[in-house]
Amino acid sequence: MSLEIERKFLVDTSKLPKLENGKKMIQGYLQQRSPSIRIRVQDNAAFLTIKGDAKNNITRTEFEYNIPIKDAKELLKECKGLLISKTRYEILHKNHLWELDIFENENSGLIVAEIELEDENEEFALPEWVTTEVSSDPRYTNASLSELPYSQW
- Domain of residue 49, CATH code: 2.40.320.10
Is 29 noted as a catalytic residue in this protein?
yes
What total number of domains does the chain contain?
Answer: 1
In the set 29, 89, 140, 150, the catalytic residue is 29
In single-letter form, the type of residue at position 12 comes to D
Give tens-digit pLDDT for 69-84.
Answer: 999 999 999 999 999 9
Strand residue runs (E) in 2-104: 3-11, 23-31, 36-42, 45-51, 59-66, 80-93, 96-103
Run means of pLDDT, 10 residues per run, the chain, 153 residues: 90 95 97 92 96 82 96 97 97 96 98 96 96 95 96 97
User: What is the model's pTM?
Assistant: 0.94
What is the domain extent for residue 40? 3-152
State the chain's maximal CA–CA distance in angstroms.
Answer: 41
Q: What pLDDT does 1 receive?
A: 55
Q: How many CB atoms lie within 10 A of CB 97?
A: 11
